[in-house]
C-alpha cells in the first residue's frame, strides 16, 4: 500500500522542482574587450546582434607574451583539439591560411572567448582577457619567425605552407 503514496508524493513534487531552475542572465554588453563586429563575421556569431569595437592585441608580438601564450595554450589543453603545435586534430588547424571566422586579433579573441559552433567551448567566463590576448598572440605567431618553439620542418613536404604575413587570397566562407 505504500507504493501509491510514494508515487503520488513524487508526482506532486515534480512541478515544484521545475521552477527551481533559473534562466542564465546574459553577460553585460562590453564585458569582454576585443570583439569583432557582425559585419566582419563570416560564420554565425554567438550572443545578441550588436556592433562591437575593434581592438588590437595589446601584446602584439612581444616575445614574453608569445612564450606565455604558448604555455597557456598547453596548460589549458588547447592542443587536445588543435594538436601540440596547432596543426589540427579534432579541432581545425591553427597553422593554415584558411580561417572560418577570420584571422584578425579580434576574430581569434572572440573565437576563444565566445566559443564557436561544433565544438569550440567559450573560455571568456573562465579566463581573464589578459590570458586570452596572450593565447591570441601565440596563435598569430604560428608559422612566422616570431613563433616560440616552432616545430621542425616537415621532411615529407619540404615546401612550407603559405606564410601568414603574406596576405591571403581568400578565406573560407559560409562553411558550417
Kindly report whether the global pTM for this prediction surpasses the value 0.95: no
Residue 91 lies in a domain: yes
Residue 84 lies in a domain: yes
Q: Name residues whose C-beta falls within 8 Å of residue 167's C-beta, 6 or more positions apart in sequence.
A: none
User: CA dihedral defined by 144, 121, 49, 103, rounded to 10 degrees?
Assistant: 10
* pLDDT tens digits for range 107-163: 999 999 999 988 899 999 999 999 999 999 999 999 888 998 887 776 666 665 666
Q: Would you state the cell numbers that stand for residue 161, as one nine-digit string?
A: 605552407
Residue 113 lies in a domain: yes
Classify residue 148 as exposed, middle or buried by CB count within 10 Å of its CB (0-12, 13-18, 19+): middle
Residue 76 lies in a domain: yes
Greatest distance between any 2 Cα atoms in the chain: 79
Classify residue 123 as exposed, middle or buried by CB count within 10 Å of its CB (0-12, 13-18, 19+): middle
If residue 80 lies in a helix (H) or strand (E), which one and from where to where?
Answer: helix 79-82
Residue 121 lies in a domain: yes
Residue 123 lies in a domain: yes
Residue 18 lies in a domain: no
Here the CATH number for the domain that contains residue 77 is 1.10.760.10
Q: What's the Cα-to-Cα distance from 38 to each of 47, 54, 79, rounded to whole Å?
A: 11, 11, 28
Q: Which of 33-47, 51-65, 102-116 has the highest mean pLDDT?
A: 102-116
**Domain total of the chain:** 1
Residue 82 lies in a domain: yes
Which residue range(s) make up the domain with 127?
Answer: 61-150
Average pLDDT over residues 47-67: 81
Amino acid at each position: 500500500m505504500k507504493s501509491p503514496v510514494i508515487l503520488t508524493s513524487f508526482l506532486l513534487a515534480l512541478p515544484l522542482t521545475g521552477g527551481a531552475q533559473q534562466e542564465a542572465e546574459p553577460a553585460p554588453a562590453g564585458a569582454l574587450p576585443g570583439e569583432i563586429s557582425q559585419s566582419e563575421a563570416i560564420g554565425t556569431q554567438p550572443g545578441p546582434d550588436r556592433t562591437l569595437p575593434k581592438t588590437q592585441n595589446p601584446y602584439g608580438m612581444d616575445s614574453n607574451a608569445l612564450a606565455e601564450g604558448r604555455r597557456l595554450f598547453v596548460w589549458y589543453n588547447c592542443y587536445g583539439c588543435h594538436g601540440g603545435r596547432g596543426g589540427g586534430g579534432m579541432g581545425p588547424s591553427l597553422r593554415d591560411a584558411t580561417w572560418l571566422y577570420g584571422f584578425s586579433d579580434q576574430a581569434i579573441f572572440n573565437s576563444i572567448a565566445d566559443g564557436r559552433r561544433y565544438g569550440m567551448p567559450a573560455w571568456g567566463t573562465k579566463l581573464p582577457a589578459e590570458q586570452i590576448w596572450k593565447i591570441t598572440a601565440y596563435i598569430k605567431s604560428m608559422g612566422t619567425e616570431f613563433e616560440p618553439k616552432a616545430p621542425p620542418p616537415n621532411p615529407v613536404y619540404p615546401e612550407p605552407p603559405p606564410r601568414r604575413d603574406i596576405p591571403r587570397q581568400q578565406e573560407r566562407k559560409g562553411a558550417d
